[in-house]
């Protein structure tokens, strides 16, 4: 049974040759790994609202209004099982969206970068595995059907 839903954003630069990633901090699963920005969906939030909230919290756009980020499309989803902390043994749904950035950002993460398509393979072991797959596919402009188990989920999933 899925206990948590997590949303993440693929944000490319204007030339579409780099993707924003940040290094995971704290005592969380995958501590020290690099990841796409995003976070947990709270009770009562839509997936898109949660993603926009997380992006505003993590990326702190200078023009902090509703037009700073634009969700362009749903990319795909996969179900994972947590292996550390409060999520150990719990299934969670990880959903990926392509997002356009329409603002200058001041990231809250200590370590962040715009990963170039020529750097992805060298970063393979530094990225959270599903994030690596999504980034590779995004740069290749291919659908995720062969990488992730793409699924459509009802927006009314109850989070326990």
Tens-place pLDDT, residues 1-25: 777 899 999 999 888 889 999 999 8
Predicted pLDDT at 64 = 67
Tens-place pLDDT, residues 98-125: 999 888 899 999 999 999 988 999 999 9
Predicted pLDDT at 90 = 81
Tens-place pLDDT, residues 52-88: 999 999 999 887 667 789 999 999 998 888 777 777 7
Q: Is 65 left (phi over 0), alpha (psi -120 to 50) or beta?
A: beta
Tens-place pLDDT, residues 131-142: 998 998 888 763
């Amino acid at each position: 049974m899925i206990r948590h839903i997590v949303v993440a954003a693929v944000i490319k630069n204007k030339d579409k040759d780099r993707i924003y990633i940040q290094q995971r901090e704290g005592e969380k699963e995958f501590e020290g790994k690099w990841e796409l920005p995003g976070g947990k969906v709270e009770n009562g939030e839509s997936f898109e609202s949660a993603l926009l909230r997380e992006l505003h919290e993590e990326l702190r756009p200078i023009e902090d209004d509703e037009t700073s980020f634009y969700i362009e499309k749903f990319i795909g989803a996969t179900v994972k099982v947590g292996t550390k902390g409060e999520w150990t043994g719990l299934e969670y749904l990880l959903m990926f969206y392509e997002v356009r950035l329409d603002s200058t950002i001041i990231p809250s993460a200590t370590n962040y970068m715009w990963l170039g398509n020529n750097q992805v393979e060298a970063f393979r072991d530094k990225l959270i595995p599903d994030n690596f797959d999504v980034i590779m596919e995004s740069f290749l402009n291919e659908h995720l059907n062969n990488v992730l188990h793409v699924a459509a989920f009802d927006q009314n999933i109850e989070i326990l």
